[in-house]
Amino acid sequence: MLCGYLPFEDPDTPALYKKILSGSYTFHKSISEDAKDLISKILNGNQTERFTIDQIRRHSWMSKHDFRENSEGIVIGINRIPIDRDVLSQMKNLNLDPDYVSKCL
- Same domain? For 60 and 97 the reply is no
Helices marked H in 9-51? 13-22, 33-42
Residue-level pLDDT at 68: 61
Residue 102 main-chain phi, psi, to 5 deg: -60, -45
The domain of 65 spans 1-69
Contact indicator for 33, 40 with CB cutoff of 8 Å: no
Q: SS3 for 73?
A: coil
- Same domain? For 12 and 31 the reply is yes
Contacts of 73 (CB under 8 A, 6+ apart): 79
Q: Please list the pLDDT of the chain residue by residue as tens digits (105 residues).
A: 777 788 888 899 999 999 888 888 888 888 899 999 999 999 998 889 999 999 998 999 988 876 665 556 677 777 777 788 888 888 888 888 988 888 887
- Same domain? For 19 and 59 the reply is yes
- Same domain? For 78 and 104 the reply is yes
* ∠ CA 69-70-72, rounded to 5°: 140
Residue-level pLDDT at 104: 81
